[in-house]
Structure 1
Amino acid sequence: MFPYLLVLSLVVFWIVLEKKSLNRTSFWLPLITLALFAGGRSYWVGTDTANYTRNFNNKLSPESFRFNEDVEYGYQLFEYSLLHMTNNYFWLLIITSLVIVYCYLKVIKRYSVNYWLSLFLFITLGVYTFSFNGLRQGIAMALFTLAIPYLLEKRLFPYLLICAIASFFHITALFIIPFYFIVNLRVKPAYKILATFFGSLFVSRLLVSYISSTNDRYEDYAKVSEESGGFLTLGFYTVLMLLIIIASYVYKIRDKSFQQLLMFYASGVVFVIPLALLGTSASGPQRIISYFTWTLVLLLPVVLKKINNIYVYIISVFIFLAYFILTTSKFSDLSPYIINPMFEVF
């Protein structure tokens, strides 16, 4: 767990230092640091990393590569192209990490009201480490973040285009398209949240059954799971949703972008609740919640800035730090962190 806490400390410290000394928002050093940490890990770190690196570890020649109709072609084409250049899985992890972190940092830098806190939350909420397990969906989620400006500006075509591109790495990106209309529909927020919940309640079982029947890789999605991690995570995000909604009313947060992001986040959480009630695996369809929960890195700093209480800041930092330690060490198979053998000196 220590390497994760060390990287977290270094990134936050540098951001604060650069802001204080140069009055500049740090971008490239956090990007390089986080990308190298993610890209420099061993394939033993993360439950699915070994599967993604198998062709590289087996020294598969490009001529022997076979496209699988059950895997998104965008990712397969990237892997196929990379195999022409190297059999070292480091390049797979470092290139994807650079793309993922860059997309998130680009949007966070543009919209965050408290950059260091947003980066702190980016790491501690598991947004950064999500791709350590689900690489393809991690890429799709990161690409989708680039659609957020178009969601807020009500520009449908670029939003659809980015969702389509992201779906070439993970099909779930297409499921986020309807939320453009949920966010921007001129209906009271409470009605939209209730409609999303009941709509999900009616279609969840059909949706999961359809996904699992059309792709062998997703057949486990329809199976009942008794994993506790998914319920704990969903409960955590639901409580945060309620607290942010209450705070937005109490502190009269009227900022339009904040309200749009809050609606996007809340509608995503209530959409996933019926999926969890089906008993599906936390590593299955419940993963779709991550398309929405990353917006907390933008929402929470706004709320804390409005509250403007140092004790609330300190308590919040400790809560999210504890959450980070718990999820990283218990539910994600990310600890201990093992470095890629090519970087081992001894």
Structure 2
Amino acid sequence: MNILQVNLLLLFIYSLLLKFKKKNLKKLFLFLMTTQLILINGLRSMWIGTDTNRYFRYFNEVRSFEKISSLFDYNMEIGYTLYQKAIGLITTDFNVFLLITAALIYIPVAFFVYNYSKNFFLSYLLFITFEFFAFTLSGIRQSLAISIGLFAFHFAVQKKPKFFLFAVLLAISFHTSAVVLLMFYPLINVKLNTKHLIFLTLTYTAFFIFRYRIGALLTIFYYDDRSTSMIQQYDVSSGIGGVSLLLILLVILSLIFQNVLNNNDRVLRASFNIMIIALFFQTLSAFSYLFTRLNMYFLILIIIFVPNIFQPISTQKIRYNQKQLSFLKIVLKLILIIYFVYYYQGILEIDIDNLLPYKFYWQ
């Protein structure tokens, strides 16, 4: 059993704390999970994670700069460059850098789950099995931007546009692709209806028809001078159809069980709206990996969307007696858990992020 499987197993063990439904035990669960993820991330060898060795080189280059002008001339987002320099003033140890970075990634996740999820276990199950955790071990800049994006969601839900804009700009300063977070505010604050869904379906169809042209344009923006090689590398990717089907199923279930279009739960409606956009990007991901990367800003919301669909299940649209409702909830959870674990095992076997065999930095 490798450390990533142990990580998942410990999640199941920690979930026993949640059975007592006590606030302090919920906080203990979050503390244990956050600490565990930080240690796995921060104590790894620089050869664990596809891009980790590159980030090691970036860190050493930036911390050696003596002139401020060198920081602004460096070919990388200024926010991340200044962040590296700030940590470099404290330590020259790359693993200390990784530990601090991991904390800045996973603590916002814990904050997000604590405030918006109705089932902490399912939230972390999704975070681990849907490649979000694996991605943080390789895509450091974008992972930081995604975590900042969780605060952007929080401020959008709270209707604090100034704080929202600040969070988005900060995320962009770590990874320019975070510009898509600007979509959060209108998405979260609009109440979709049936007409909107029909319009979105037609829009998706148009995007699908012109997918290659759109993909090429966005790839140029996303990868800049490497755009031509990236288009050739990522064009016509495959293997993500199951995620699209899952998103379609979740959207349908949210309409059935939570009557989400008429539901007064602002967070549920907000995450529903974002999942609609995530479904769009995930569909385009079949033709360009670029959209998979962009979609992570939206798809991360699945860690609260799924728990909030199934626990508790609303009876606004379909009436069940208590025994039927309890049985349905158990069946749905079991199916989801089995699917997520099975999906995760497949990801580990492919190991596209170069995480296995896992090694600590001292090995």
TM-score (norm 1): 0.85
Aligned match of 1:72: 77
**Counterpart mapping for 1:213-224 below 5 A:** 215-216=224-225, 220-224=229-233
CA distance in 2 between partners of 1:47 and 1:227 (Å)? 21
CA contact (8 A) 2:243 2:282 kept: no
Aligned match of 1:86: 91
CA distance in 2 between partners of 1:18 and 1:301 (Å)? 14
CA distance in 2 between partners of 1:105 and 1:164 (Å)? 22
CA distance in 2 between partners of 1:176 and 1:336 (Å)? 35
CA contact (8 A) 1:11 1:33 kept: no
Q: CA deviation at 1:62?
A: 3.8
Deviation string, structure 1 residues 225-252 (Cα, Å, up to 9, x no partner): 3675xx323x232112211122123224
CA distance in 1 between partners of 2:282 and 2:75 (Å)? 24
Aligned match of 1:335: 356
List runs of 5+ in structure 2 lacking aligned partners: 314-324
Aligned match of 2:269: 259
Q: CA deviation at 1:198?
A: 5.2
Aligned match of 1:40: 43
CA distance in 2 between partners of 1:295 and 1:245 (Å)? 13
Change (3 A) 1:49 1:148: same
The alignment partner of 1:119 has SS state of: helix
2:129 is equivalent to residue 124 of structure 1: yes
RMSD: 2.9
List runs of 5+ in structure 1 lacking aligned partners: none
The alignment partner of 2:133 has SS state of: coil
CA distance in 1 between partners of 2:304 and 2:18 (Å)? 20
Comparing 97-106 with 157-166, which one deviates more in the overlay?
157-166
The alignment partner of 2:295 has SS state of: helix
Match of 2:83, as an amino acid?
F
Deviation string, structure 1 residues 229-281 (Cα, Å, up to 9, x no partner): xx323x2321122111221232244333212201112213304534x36x43x
CA distance in 2 between partners of 1:34 and 1:212 (Å)? 29
Aligned match of 2:9: 9
CA distance in 1 between partners of 2:146 and 2:177 (Å)? 9
Aligned match of 2:109: 104
CA distance in 2 between partners of 1:56 and 1:178 (Å)? 31
Q: CA deviation at 1:324?
A: 1.2
CA contact (8 A) 1:12 1:119 kept: no
Q: CA deviation at 1:120?
A: 1.6
Q: CA deviation at 1:224?
A: 4.5
Change (3 A) 1:90 1:318: same
Aligned match of 1:194: 201
Comparing 296-305 with 102-111, which one deviates more in the overlay?
296-305
Residue-pair matches, total: 334
Comparing 241-250 with 159-168, which one deviates more in the overlay?
241-250
Q: CA deviation at 1:49?
A: 0.8
CA distance in 2 between partners of 1:177 and 1:19 (Å)? 38
Of the three residues 243, 248, 264, the one matched with 2:249 is 243
Change (3 A) 1:117 1:285: closer
Match of 1:273, as an amino acid?
T
Change (3 A) 1:256 1:57: closer
Aligned match of 2:306: 300
**Counterpart mapping for 1:139-288 below 5 A:** 139-188=144-193, 189-191=196-198, 193-194=200-201, 197=204, 200=207, 204-205=214-215, 207-208=217-218, 210-211=220-221, 215-216=224-225, 220-225=229-234, 228=237, 231-233=238-240, 235-253=241-259, 254=263, 255-274=265-284, 276=285, 279-280=287-288, 282=289, 284-288=290-294
